[in-house]
Amino acid sequence: MVTSSVLGFPRIGAKRELKKATEGYWNGKVTAEELLQTGKDLRAHNWKLQKEAGVDSIASNDFSFYDQILDASYLFNVIPQRYRDSKLSPLDEYFAMGRGLQREGVDVPALEMVKWFDSNYHYVRPTFSNTTEFKVNGSKPVDQYLEAKELGIETRPVIIGPVSYLVLGKADKDSQELKPITLLPKLLPVYAEVLKSLVAAGAKTIQIDEPVLVLDLDEESKAAYKTAYEYLAKEVPEAKLILTTYFGDVRPNLDAIKDLPVAGFHFDFVRNPDQFDEVVAIIKDNQVLSAGVVSGRNIWKTDYAKAKEIIDKAVAKLGSDRVIVATSSSLLHTPVDLENETKLDPKIKDFFSFATQKVGEIVDITTGVNKPEDAKAAFEANAKSIEARKVSDVTNDKAVQDRVSKLTEADSKRKSAFADRLEAQKGLNLPLFPTTTIGSFPQTKEIRVQRNKFTKGEITEEEYNKFIEKEIQEVVKFQEEVGLDVLVHGEPERNDMVQYFGERFKGFAFTQNGWVQSYGSRYVRPPIIVGDISRPAPVSVKESKYAQSITSKPMKGMLTGPVTILRWSFPRDDVSQRTQALQLGLALRDEVNDLEAANVAVIQVDEPAIREGLPLRAGKERDEYVKWAPESFRIATSGVDDKTQIHSHFCYSDLDPEHIKALDADVVSIEFSKKDDNGYIENFSDYPNHIGLGLFDIHSPRVPPQSEFEKRVSDILAVYPKEKLWINPDCGLKTRKWEEVRAQLTNMVNAAKQFREKFTESA
């Protein structure tokens, strides 16, 4: 009989219990013991849920208080010396690596954080140096395996694979010549020790994740697989490893893994079903296939019939006892439980499946293969839901479809080249090294309370609008006092940079509790694109117009770009992402044009997800993306006059300057404060338009001294012309406290003034 497996379950809790406990610990309101107990309670709940549903292979060690890759770094002792020197408790040292720490004489920045492949999850990048000493630091995988065992639940421990761990890391700034993959011989004995401890504890199989197999790997990284897994098989022959890949096509790297001495392989057939025949062909007689047929990335119901076709094909080739029905990846990227959505239209709700429901889908499909009669009712109900969605009137809007069909090349081009636009924008009267922020300012408890009251009807629209105007007044006054040159209205009316727009566009559905972890304790509630997209009325014009009316300085209108809205929503899977992006571009074009008509002369259309959306592997899909993604941005921004300055912003990705150039924004701002690699600045040295490289980490409460800002600006000016450089933070300031923001921005602005005076005097 085929068996079932879930590769990982959301750790946040159905009611965000982990967020509340973690932030409570950081704020001193929750003890370490209470935080650890919350984690233990969440793990027990998740394991029991899957056990009671009938899942055969349940993951353990998929839980993390911050990030699973940070957990691995801590486990393998990849802890830069600056954190050790701080003499913190193990828990505080761990959190300091993730988010930085500045208190009681301790001042350490966080490690770099980047996107997890093409998802909106962020991982903490391992940082290696010539002095890195790998050793086992703690026993988290074993502890959590035994914790489940005490509950009577057998689990399959999950651990990141050695090759992926190294490839996903980077060299520290003091060891730039170091190539992380060369550290493999030093790392493998530590892996062997961890595997031995898991086997000794009783683990029957171990899930070892190697997601970089869906990337374009160099030959050295490919060769590392044979080295790594032959070593582990020799040192720990009892360990039955399921080598696991997800998020893409592994075929170009099949030669690297086809003869590895592992117990089996997992492949993602949701993201790439075309790879089935070739990847199944490498499965040897003594190996199993874990077939990912239920999406770990999206919220649409699984089509049982299509999933069963794949499993049936696998059974025909391998036999039922060597096939596992599995999620495509961890369910980390999906909300916890659809049953918590009590306000969704039942017709739309029937289209969806969250993590808890996906567990049920896995069991249903497994039953449908093993005992078809027992699953007949479930399969019939599923087929009815799939068909209902196809014919739903929620999905189609002919007017939107017609507008997209009439787009021309001229719709995606500014009226003039950048040099002419720059001349027209001199009316903004900006100084050398203009200072600005990325958009949002702290979302205080009072803002959230008033928004909640308005949502519940406890205050009138007039009362709420007066409150928002008061918040905007205070933010504008604050920025003028600090000395910023281009201001923002602070976004007090916005719940989230994507959700806010989605709620005001047609074609979206929203959840009450559809939270998904983005990084650390930052959770998002992605909108769901259910149909064709349009903008019925202006979204942000009122607030931006008001903010501009109370200051003589330029005020930026703040919008979220089409690719980012697409990527940070759950997109449709029945039309192309290109179509959805173009629809969003047209909706935003209307908004941009209305902002210009309201005399907002600077408009920022953020695209932090532009790199995230890039297909993971070179080829036709990627070639098409680099055309339609910037095209959708240009459609949104090209209807304005030359004098209107278009900005965009990008963060927490390894950016390609060519993709940024294709947007043709007048000014771009890029997260930079933790990009300490040699050569990153040089990547943008020939960027033709203006640029601001972020100077402080907005995810950390740390306040860099003015001297640190000056050092960063000096480094940038060594390779980038002063006339083109803007001064700004890494990202928006929504998650920070006001006292932190005042100190951070004051030091940043003062550093800009120092350079302004320096170059004015030298002239």
Which residues are documented as binding site for 5-methyltetrahydropteroyltri-L-glutamate? 19, 120, 568
Residues in binding site: 19, 120, 438-440, 491, 568, 606, 649, 651, 671, 731
CB burial class (10 A; 0-12, 13-18, 19+) of residue 132?
Answer: buried
**Which positions ≥6 away from 402 have C-beta within 8 Å?**
none
What single letter denotes the amino acid at residue 422? L
| Biggest CA-to-CA distance, the chain | 85
Place of tokens 């962020």: 122
Q: What is the CA radius of gyration of the chain?
A: 26
Strand partners, 692: 669, 726
Cα separation values, 718 from 288, 345, 656, Å:
55, 57, 21
Distance CA 203, CA 158 (A): 11
CA atoms 618, 622, 626, 627: torsion sign:
positive
* Three state DSSP letters for 216-282: CCCHHHHHHHHHHHHHHHHHCCCCCEEEECCCCCCHHHHHHHCCCCCCEEEEECCCCHHHHHHHHCC
Name the DSSP class of 302.
P
DSSP lists the bridge partners of residue 267 as 291
Judge whether 7 and 59 are in contact, CB under 8 Å: yes
Beta bridge partners of 290: 266, 324
- Strand 522-524 to 516-519 pairing: antiparallel
Which of 412, 338, 348 shows the shortest CA–CA distance to 581? 412
Residue 729 · residue 437 · CB < 8 Å: yes
Q: Which residues define the annotated binding site for L-methionine?
A: 438-440, 491, 606
Token couple for 189: 């004995």
Q: Is the dihedral of CA 451, 456, 459, 463 positive or negative?
A: positive
Q: Is 489 a catalytic residue?
A: no
Q: Coil, strand or helix: which one is 758?
A: helix
Q: Which residue has the tokens 């049982």?
A: 304
Nearest Cα neighbor of 124 from 90, 94, 103, 88 is 94
> How far, in whole angstroms, is CA 437 from its chain's centroid?
21
The number of beta carbons lying within 10 Å of the beta carbon of residue 277 is 10
Q: What is the spatial distance between Cα 177 and Cα 677, in angstroms, rounded to a whole number?
A: 10
Of 266, 333, 647, 699, the catalytic one is: 699
Report whether 25 contacts 31 (CB < 8 A). yes
Task: Measure the CA–CA gap between 353 and 302, rounded to whole angstroms.
Answer: 8
Are the beta carbons of 711 and 669 closer than 8 angstroms?
no
Active-site positions? 699
